[in-house]
Amino acid sequence: MIECVNKSLLRGLPEVFASNRVSDCDVIFCLEENAPTGTVQPSTSAATCAPGGPEGAGRSLDTADWPNPSVAFGEPLPAHRLILILTSERFKAQIERWSAEGADEITSPSQPEQSACGRPQLRIPLSNEAEVPAARAAIRFAYTGEVPADSSVRQVLELRRQGAYLQISGCVAACNEVLTAKVSGSSRAGARSSNQTANGSNKRARISEEALQPPAVLELFDSKVLWPDPQAEPAFGAILATGKRSLVAHFGNSLAALNTPSLRDQLLALPAVALEALLESDEFGTDDEASVLLMLAEWMRINHHKAEPAVRQRLCRTVRLTHLSRPYLSLILPALAADHEKDPEAPAGWFSGASVLEAAFVTNYVSTTQVKRDWLLSAGKASVPIPEVLRASPRPQCIPPSGGLTFNWHIRKEDLLRAVRELQPGSVQCVYGAFDDQPQHGVFAWGFEWCVYLQLTGGQSTAGVFLQCDLPTALEPPGSRLSSEGTVTNNTAVPIPARLVVHRRQGAAVKDVKGTLNSPEAFVNIGFSWGWSKMLPLQDQQQLQQQDATGNTAAVAADPLAAWVEYLTDGKVSGTLTLLRPSP
């Protein structure tokens, strides 16, 4: 037991790693026999005596002298046979064969070779030079029993692989422990975003960018090439299961992923295996399945050329088609299916989750009674297409039941001033707002992009506030039926369960102007808007002159934005858009 080991020995072992002090062998990292060498050249020092050997006894051993010529990487690593024998079955077998057969009998490139100074040289075949740091770290583990604390997830995976390859006792288990701790400690950015929006006086649908540093779980999925087979190694399968939970917790829900810039960038950079794990999870929330399909469309817009057809189909099959909104079932899904049938390899034909006939079947299935649905899914109905999609349960609703999900928007004073100056009697000017910290002008919800704008009419003492519904760019790539040159008419009724607020101050009092859209009659077509044409009362000239403390009528008349004084704060008109759960 560890308690019985001399403490001085335990302290001293790490100190002799890579040291010539009392070393009695060398480890040489070299290119494995069947690996392509490319332009890599052998190291001239890789087969020489260690610096601690007899002076002048070493000589350079050209790779042509080896029974199996190899390319050596870097300097020999001084080592200690006793430590290697006790900590590695692989090294133990090599050293024991060398001792039994003699230094002049070499049967494989991984068997010990004797240098000119009589020291065994343990040659470790590697695929390439990039593996040397991990192999060296695995041997270091034999001395220290520790995984370096500052290791990244990828470095731990590389160490784990080399530890298994070199059969370093305890290395794989230690790496598993570190990986579990790193992955389970990943950020819950998306979950915090939703909670922060639903609670507190300053409700917001975003979180600070400082809190969104890439978590370890993203690095885990980026390093799939280093994974062992989870079926063959259940311990690593458990790490992946933890990683999938952390991945879902990090992104939280579709609205957080689409509307938080850092999360959105991370989403678009995900490898396919990570996106599949995210979208197939029953814990991943959304406002509507349409937003999940939009997430996939956004990812395909960037990564279509990287994904094989089979991968694209697996990703598309994670979308729970029966829970799509009616606008998506009636318009978006059929158009995507038709684009795929037209040209499966084109960027516009990315959606392979359902054929045109299957899309029609899904729409019919959703619109029929529960009795008929059960009948369609009953045993023996082998002709039913994509039955696994039809049986999928709805995802958790990410819009809080009370309070909703709130986004802040604003219109700059400069933009408002430009519109006011261009306004003529009877003419109309629209001034679009921007959402805080959003690269785009709109907010993504219910599978569409929503923009807020003010409508100014020349000669009117009021202004309108509107919410516009647009088709996201990811859904209308060139050649798509949904694009501007497409053949599909984008006529569909999109519900608008939302509340618009414009901040207003009258003296010291806050008198916000509010409008709510959450009834069966509140719907809009794609590319159109819904709102109130006279929502904002503006101050007329007489009121402004009466309120001017100095009585300077000329100064009031000279200010084009004088009528907007109650709405302008800190150089902008501002307000909020709150997404609500649809009325039953």
User: Cα-flanking dihedrals φ and ψ of residue 29, to 5°?
Assistant: -90, 130
Question: Helix or strand or coil: residue 360?
Answer: helix
Q: Residue 188: its pLDDT value, please?
A: 58
Alpha carbons 505 and 405: distance in angstroms, whole number:
24
Burial class from Cβ neighbours inside 10 Å (0-12, 13-18, 19+) for residue 397 reads middle
Q: Residue 52: its pLDDT value, please?
A: 37
Query: What interhelical angle do 7-16 and 132-144 show, nearest 10?
Result: 160
Q: Residue 381: its pLDDT value, please?
A: 59
For residues 445 and 351, membership in a common domain is answered with no
For residues 414 and 558, membership in a common domain is answered with yes
Tokens of 528: 């159109």
Alpha carbons 271 and 515: distance in angstroms, whole number:
42
Q: Residue 206: its pLDDT value, please?
A: 44
Contact 481, 338 (CB under 8 A): yes
For residues 391 and 421, membership in a common domain is answered with no
Alpha carbons 428 and 577: distance in angstroms, whole number:
23
For residues 375 and 483, membership in a common domain is answered with no
Contact 561, 411 (CB under 8 A): no
Q: Residue 41: its pLDDT value, please?
A: 37
Torsion of CA 358, 364, 367, 369, to 10 degrees: -110
Q: What is the amino acid identity at position 17? A: F
Q: Residue 65: its pLDDT value, please?
A: 36
For residues 409 and 391, membership in a common domain is answered with no
Q: What is the largest CA-CA distance in the chain?
A: 109
For residues 340 and 453, membership in a common domain is answered with no
Q: Residue 201: its pLDDT value, please?
A: 35
Q: What is the amino acid identity at position 129? A: E
Q: Residue 42: its pLDDT value, please?
A: 36
User: Does residue 169 lie within any of the structural domains?
Assistant: no
Sequence length of the chain is 584
Alpha carbons 410 and 236: distance in angstroms, whole number:
48
User: Does residue 226 lie within any of the structural domains?
Assistant: no
Tokens of 6: 């001399």
For residues 391 and 466, membership in a common domain is answered with no
User: Does residue 261 lie within any of the structural domains?
Assistant: no
Residue whose tokens read 């899914």 = 377
For residues 338 and 462, membership in a common domain is answered with no
Alpha carbons 522 and 531: distance in angstroms, whole number:
9
Burial class from Cβ neighbours inside 10 Å (0-12, 13-18, 19+) for residue 155 reads buried
For residues 392 and 409, membership in a common domain is answered with no
Q: Residue 584: its pLDDT value, please?
A: 66
Contact 255, 448 (CB under 8 A): no
Give the HSE-up count for residue 506: Cα atoms under 13 Å, Cβ half-sphere: 7
Tokens of 374: 């059960």
Contact 428, 401 (CB under 8 A): no
Question: Helix or strand or coil: residue 300?
Answer: helix
Q: Containing domain of residue 421, as a range?
A: 405-579
Q: Residue 15: its pLDDT value, please?
A: 84
| CATH code: domain of residue 125 | 3.30.710
Alpha carbons 469 and 522: distance in angstroms, whole number:
12
User: Does residue 283 lie within any of the structural domains?
Assistant: no
Q: What is the amino acid identity at position 446? A: W
Positive or negative torsion for Cα 17, 21, 25, 30: positive
DSSP 117: T
Contact 26, 115 (CB under 8 A): yes
User: Does residue 205 lie within any of the structural domains?
Assistant: no
Alpha carbons 361 and 103: distance in angstroms, whole number:
74
Alpha carbons 190 and 196: distance in angstroms, whole number:
10
Contact 389, 321 (CB under 8 A): yes
Alpha carbons 311 and 224: distance in angstroms, whole number:
15
Domain boundary among 145, 161, 192: 145
Torsion of CA 95, 97, 102, 108, to 10 degrees: -100
Contact 297, 472 (CB under 8 A): yes
The domain total for the chain is 3
User: Does residue 185 lie within any of the structural domains?
Assistant: no
Contact 431, 419 (CB under 8 A): yes
**Distance linking the first and last C-alpha atoms of the chain:** 66
Domain boundary among 366, 398, 430: 398
Alpha carbons 25 and 22: distance in angstroms, whole number:
10
Mean pLDDT by 10 residues, the chain (584 residues): 66 84 92 61 39 32 39 93 95 86 49 62 94 98 95 97 98 98 75 46 42 80 96 96 97 97 96 98 97 99 96 96 96 96 96 94 91 78 70 94 95 96 94 89 95 96 96 94 75 91 90 87 90 92 54 61 95 96 78
User: Does residue 202 lie within any of the structural domains?
Assistant: no
Burial class from Cβ neighbours inside 10 Å (0-12, 13-18, 19+) for residue 133 reads middle
| CATH code: domain of residue 462 | 2.60.210
Domain boundary among 398, 426, 457: 398
For residues 391 and 413, membership in a common domain is answered with no
Burial class from Cβ neighbours inside 10 Å (0-12, 13-18, 19+) for residue 346 reads middle
User: Does residue 228 lie within any of the structural domains?
Assistant: no
User: Cα-flanking dihedrals φ and ψ of residue 430, to 5°?
Assistant: -110, 130
Please report, for the chain, how many H helices and E strands are present, in that order: 22, 19
For residues 459 and 346, membership in a common domain is answered with no
Alpha carbons 324 and 443: distance in angstroms, whole number:
19
For residues 453 and 339, membership in a common domain is answered with no
